[in-house]
């Protein structure tokens, strides 16, 4: 293990949950996949078992190597070729981070600051990322613990403020399409959760006896499903299904509708503040993962010298990703992103697991 950092279970859960739900409060991608109608909430409930299922390969790997992170046990299992797998994951994280930075810029330049150059937004962001990452994973997870009440509270407040305009009839008829499409929707949602890979890196830091880890995962995924439900209800019940589908930033559009007695209105700033905070957490979390992986490949104990170098690579990479919104929407559609994530969440760890099993590596009695 690189650092001797410790993460408490609560911090661990918050890191995962906030980093995942920030996508829901930006792009609201539930409609992109099946079932694409009023039954998406069922898919969201079903995402809980799907998430648990998708975590199984990484969970079993961690059971075998409880003291090692993803980047370390690749080398334990595969030897020198393991470095190639590590590199693959580093590239995956760079890709995920660049995509998110793209989303970050897309939202800021569309909704709030249409004339501010993207380069400026990123240049302003990066020093703060560097600062956070230099402080280590303990600080990042404490940051998550610190902002969690704000983020969760903000989403709840927005839900309550929108409650007046909600029409719950929108959720009928229930189960209009087949159960298969609803289940497929749950899988698409689960496969968007690249945090499962992050989990493989953070698990060795978790300060908990290993029996309770299942409980931590379960409560983390339940929280994700819960906040998905809250945001979905906020959006669907206020905007209706067909109209929500036409919106680029559906949750933000719903928040813009808050008006209680001409007195409480224009509360977009609440959404924006929780969005900036949670988006920032996601960025530094992925950045941290990239650095850990890189330092493993290079073979140095401390990742700190790599921070600035990585940032200078990340800036042009993320800028080169940014072409226009139609490309982004096309790429983030479930038909592409699910398969990419499937490889990294299920296929590669399963292969690793199989190799570890046949070479009888790690603790098998667990």
Task: Give contact residues for another protein (rule: CB under 8 A).
Answer: 110-117, 120, 169, 172-173, 176, 239-240, 242-243, 245-246, 253, 256-257, 259, 265-266
Query: C-beta of 116: minimal distance to another protein in Å?
Result: 4
Give me the least distance between CB of 165 and another protein, in Å please.
9
Question: CB 260 → another protein: shortest distance, Å?
Answer: 12
**Residue number with CB closer to another protein (8 or 259):** 259
Using alpha carbons, list the distances in angstroms from residue 249 to 62, 163, 243, 271, 325. 37, 19, 12, 12, 12
Q: How far is the CB of 266 from another protein (least distance, A)?
A: 8
Instruction: Please say which residue, 95 or 177, places its beta carbon nearer to another protein.
Output: 177
The nearer residue to another protein, 221 or 249, going by C-beta atoms, is 249
Chain center to CA of 5: 22
Residue pair 14/148 in contact (Cβ under 8 Å)? The answer is: yes
Residues with Cβ within 8 Å of residue 280, at least 6 apart in sequence: 125, 128, 129, 132
For residue 120, the minimal CB distance to another protein (Å) is: 7
Helix 137-162 vs helix 9-24: crossing angle, to nearest 10:
50
Nearer to another protein, 120 or 131 (CB): 120
DSSP state of 265: E
Reading the block at residue 312, the tokens are 């200078």
Q: How far is the CB of 305 from another protein (least distance, A)?
A: 23
In the structure encoding, which two tokens stand for residue 320, read together? 């080169």
Of the pair 53, 113, the CB lying nearest another protein is at: 113
Distance of CA 72 to the CA centre of its chain: 22
Burial 67-97 (b: 16+ CB within 10 A, else e): ebbbbbbbbbbbeeebbebbbebbebbbbbb
If the CB atoms of residues 10 and 245 are measured against another protein, the closer one turns out to be 245
């Amino acid at each position: 293990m690189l650092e001797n950092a410790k993460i408490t279970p609560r911090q661990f859960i918050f890191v995962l949950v906030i980093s995942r739900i920030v996508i829901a409060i930006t792009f609201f991608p539930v409609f992109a996949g099946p079932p694409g109608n009023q039954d998406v909430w069922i898919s969201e409930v079903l995402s809980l078992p799907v998430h648990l299922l998708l975590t199984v390969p990484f969970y079993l790997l961690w059971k075998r190597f409880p003291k090692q992170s993803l980047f370390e046990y690749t080398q334990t299992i595969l030897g020198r070729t393991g470095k190639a797998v590590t590199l693959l994951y580093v590239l995956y994280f760079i890709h995920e981070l660049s995509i998110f930075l793209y989303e970050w810029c897309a939202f800021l330049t569309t909704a709030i600051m249409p004339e501010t150059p993207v380069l400026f937004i990123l240049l302003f962001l990066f020093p703060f990322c560097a600062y956070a990452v230099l402080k280590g994973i303990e600080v990042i997870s404490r940051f998550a613990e610190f902002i969690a009440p704000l983020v969760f509270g903000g989403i709840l407040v927005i839900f309550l403020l929108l409650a007046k305009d909600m029409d719950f009839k929108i959720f009928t008829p229930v189960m209009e399409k087949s159960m298969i499409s609803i289940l497929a929707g749950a899988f698409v949602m689960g496969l968007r959760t690249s945090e499962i890979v992050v989990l493989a890196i953070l698990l060795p830091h978790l300060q908990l006896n290993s029996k309770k880890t299942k409980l931590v995962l379960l409560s983390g995924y339940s929280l994700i499903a819960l906040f998905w439900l809250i945001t979905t209800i906020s959006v669907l019940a206020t905007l209706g299904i067909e109209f929500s589908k036409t919106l680029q930033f559906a949750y933000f559009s719903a928040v813009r509708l808050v008006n209680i007695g001409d007195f409480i209105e224009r509360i977009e700033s609440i959404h924006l503040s929780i969005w900036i905070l949670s988006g920032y957490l996601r960025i530094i979390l992925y950045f941290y993962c990239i650095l850990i992986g890189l330092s493993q490949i290079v073979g140095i104990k401390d990742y700190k010298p790599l921070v600035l170098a990585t940032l200078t690579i990340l800036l042009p990479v993320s800028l080169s990703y940014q072409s226009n919104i139609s490309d982004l929407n096309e790429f983030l559609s479930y038909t592409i992103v699910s398969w990419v994530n499937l490889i990294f969440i299920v296929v590669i760890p399963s292969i690793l697991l199989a190799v570890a099993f046949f070479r009888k590596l790690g603790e098998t009695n667990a």
